[in-house]
Homo-oligomer: A and B are copies of this chain.
Amino acid sequence: MDFKLTVLGCGSATPTLRFSPSAQVAAHGSDLFLFDCGEGTQLKLRRGGFNFQRIGHVFISHLHGDHYLGLQGLLSTMQLLGRTKPIHIYAHEHLEELTALQLRISRSHFRFEVHWCALTYSDKTIIAETDRLEVHSFPLDHRIPTCGFVISEKPKPRNIRPECIERYNIPVPRIRQIKAGADLTLDDGTVVPNAELTLDPDPLRSYAYCSDTAYSPSTATYVKGVDLLYHESTFLEDRAARAAKTHHSTARQAARVASEAGAGRLLLGHFSARYRDTTSFEEEAREIFPRSFAAEEGMTIDVAL
């Protein structure tokens, strides 16, 4: 099953014609998961051909405008397009209050259920779960309460060897048990061990979203071993002082987190409007973590290439 990430916006607080505010969408099969929702996200989703109604979960890292100002418009459009399916929104509790006020002043309401989940900021916590995935939040180090998120596949069943099904004429109800690890007892009492019947399951893939944050050694522990790590790099190292002051990171610091976490690849973003070219971000990060690359709006990446 495909597990892909599309970057909708990779700029920082001042949107420009080059960089839009933060938003990313992770697609796992046909399920869409939205990470942050800056102004204009709904148009970016349209441009990417995403079906709005397939977004079941929205994760808002923190309540600076460039990470959430597109949400009200997106929800409103979902409503106008006839949504009935519930949506789950994970954010600071203030966002629910704000949304309620926005509905009240426009004398409107949503005809679909909105399940609000208030984030906590003290430790890594499971916040969402579907049949195939789970999402954890964890605290980042920013000027206001901010969470990162890890979305990871749940343990998968073992893969049964197709030739075994035929050879032993395995009935369908037994297949699920064998995929779960059971041995097979034949009619003559012979036991065929599971290891002969199956192959290891497909590897579990995971993606971590870290925006916005200062460098923090604990981040690496929260995102240990993810296949793909997005870590903000608002600045280059020559502006490390500015990064520290504003609780943002440099490309070098992002690379350090990726290296400490043993991540598969590092995706850089949340570029300050002062930069026009992102090559320097890649160069700076690759000195520490070679598999680093800069986000581009509209780019789609396989989570575990």
Contact = CB atoms under 8 A, between A and B. Distances in A.
B76 A13 contact: yes
Interface residues of A, number: 39
A65 interface: yes
A101 B72 CA distance: 15
A80 interface: yes
Contacts of A104: 94
Interface in A10-64: 13-17, 20-21, 39-40, 42-43, 46-47, 63-64
A70 B21 CA distance: 13
Interface string A277-296: 00000000000000000000
A102 to B, nearest CB: 7
Given A14-B77, A46-B17, A70 B39 contact: yes
A81 interface: yes
Given A17-B43, A40-B39, A65-B72, A98 B102 contact: yes
A106 interface: yes
Contacts of A199: none
Nearest to A21: B73
Contact of A144 (B13, B39, B107): B107
A131 interface: no
A102 B65 contact: yes
Contacts of A39: 39-40, 42, 69-70, 73
A97 interface: yes
A106 B60 CA distance: 13
Contact of A80 (B14, B69, B70, B81): B14
Contacts of A101: 94, 97-98, 101
25 contacts: A13-B76, A14-B77, A15-B73, A16-B46, A17-B46, A39-B39, A39-B42, A39-B69, A39-B73, A40-B40, A40-B43, A63-B105, A63-B106, A64-B106, A65-B76, A66-B76, A69-B69, A69-B73, A94-B101, A97-B105, A98-B102, A98-B105, A101-B101, A107-B143, A107-B144
Given A40-B40, A40-B43, 10 more contacts: A15-B42, A15-B73, A39-B73, A63-B105, A64-B108, A65-B73, A65-B76, A66-B73, A94-B101, A107-B143
